[in-house]
Amino acid sequence: AAAEKGGYASFMHKEIAEQPRAVADTLLGRIGADGALILDELRIPAAELREVDKVVVVACGTAFHAGLIAKYAIEHWTRLPCEVELASEFRYRDPILDARSLVIAISQSGETMDTLMALRHAREQGSRVLAICNTNGSTIPRESDAVLYTHAGPEVAVASTKAFLTQLVACYLVALYLGQARGTKWGDEVLGVVRDLADIAGAVERVLGDMEPVRELARSLAGAGTVLFLGRHVGYPVALEGALKLKELAYMHAEGFAAGELKHGPIALVEEGLPVVVVVPSPRGRCVLHDKIVSNIQEIRARGARTIVIAEEGDDAVLPYADHVVRVPVTPTLLQPLVTTVPLQVFACELAVARGNEVDQPRNLAKSVTVE
Ligand code: G6P
């Protein structure tokens, strides 16, 4: 087993380190020299994609967080309404679906019972189902109309890391492909994003190269009781994922919130010394959100929070209110989760180690939940 871990302390350490490669492999062969998406493997004719009038994403756990991020990209690049549903809720509701709805089922293992049942529920109503999956020939892709495989390679650690990043890449590809097929928003902006996607593995690599301060910070928080995570726009699901990782691995109480909701409850939790991780949107483009989150950081710090800020390189506006700053490379806003999630994975992994937990096999959890 030690040899399989390739010298890493755990499969999770190894899988975190493999992310640049996993991201690059998932993009491989799917973007043409002219920047057009090549996803013939989806086998859904462009004419049918043009008929789609609604997208519904179903998934569980970390894959659900990938879906929440996908919503921002799908709506922006395709102008289609998009809903994201926990598979366990969706399967027991009466969702409004028909033949023009495209249902995307995201699953690393391809065997999660609730996600499988959700896709059956969708197909019974005549919807097309596209699986985004990491496991060749597993049940979910076999029962779907089409599949886009993530090429993360086998993921052994129970807590998902590299599969998540590749699920994001796959979601971006699907969103861009839908946009391309439908002729919506297809112009310089999207071509620019495609180019940036091609560089993203390098950006992930850069983040990984500078994680020692994050590990040190994690060790210093081993005795903390609670950690809060704040984000907005695509940073909001990243905050949820950061909190989930901490629960799974460190067995700590952790919550992720949309920063805009701070005044509707979460700020009441802030007390002296409470660690709060804030995922800061880029100051470029949607700078309104950036400014708003900087005032949130100011507000929680004034109430005693220990602020841990994940911010883009060159974003100095956060400095006066940050106890710790973790830098991520500049990326287009919608792609930012590919870099901001990585420090949160490393943070949770190191906290688990510091607390003496079994990183690859957290208590009470299974890699694939094949029962209800
Ligand atoms: C379990 C795993 C998670 C995973 C979730 C969904 O809870 O521990 O890491 O995100 O199942 O799994 P799937 O294989 O459907 O992506």
- Determine whether 367 is an active site residue: yes
- What is the CA(179)–ligand 1 centre distance, in A? 28
Phi-psi region of 277 (alpha: psi -120 to 50; beta: other; left: phi over 0): beta
Q: Which two tokens stand for residue 336?
A: 């930012």
Tell whether ligand 1 has an atom less than 6 A from the beta carbon of residue 63. Answer: yes
Q: Among the atoms of ligand 1, which is closest to the Cα of residue 248?
A: 8
Q: How far is the CA of 110 from the centre of ligand 1 (A)?
A: 9
Could you please report the per-residue DSSP string of 288-339?
Answer: HHHHHHHHHHHHHHHTT-EEEEEEETT-GGGGGG-SEEEEE----GGGTHHH
Cβ–ligand 1 distance for 115 under 6 Å, the answer: yes
Q: Is 365 in the pocket of ligand 1 (CB under 6 A)?
A: yes
Tell me, in angstroms, the distance from the centre of ligand 1 to residue 86's CA.
12
Spell out a b/e string for 20-39, using b for 16 or more CB atoms within 10 Å of the CB, else e. Answer: bbbbbbbbeebbeeebebeb
Q: Minimal CA–CA distance to 344: which of 266, 257, 241, 247?
A: 241
pLDDT score of 321: 97
Please report the pLDDT score of residue 131 as a whole number: 98
Using alpha carbons, select from 72, 46, 86, 142 the residue that is nearest to residue 334. Answer: 72
The residue nearest atom 2 of ligand 1, judged by CA position, is 367
The response to whether residue 26 sits with its C-beta less than 6 Å from ligand 1 reads no
Give the separation between CA 335 and CA 331, rounded to whole angstroms: 6
Residue listed under structure tokens 């996993």: 22
Measured distance CA(371)–CA(113) in Å, rounded = 6
* Contact call for residues 134 and 150 (beta carbons, < 8 A): yes
CA-CA distance, 275 to 68, in Å (whole number)? 25
- Structure-token pair, residue 18: 């493999």
- Regarding the beta carbon of 160 and ligand 1, being less than 6 Å apart is answered yes
Q: Are the CB atoms for 12 and 161 separated by under 8 Å? A: yes
Say how many Å lie between the CA of residue 367 and the centre of ligand 1: 6
Walk along the chain (372 residues) and give the pLDDT tens digit of each residue. 667 898 999 999 999 999 999 999 999 999 988 888 899 888 888 888 999 999 999 999 999 999 999 999 999 999 999 999 999 999 999 999 999 999 999 999 999 999 999 999 999 999 999 999 999 999 999 999 999 999 999 999 999 999 999 999 999 999 999 988 888 666 777 788 888 999 999 999 999 999 999 999 999 999 999 999 999 999 999 999 999 999 999 999 999 999 999 999 999 999 999 999 999 999 986 578 999 999 999 999 999 999 999 999 999 999 999 999 999 999 999 999 999 999 999 999 999 999 999 999 999 999 999 988
Q: What local confidence, expressed as pLDDT, does residue 1 receive?
A: 64
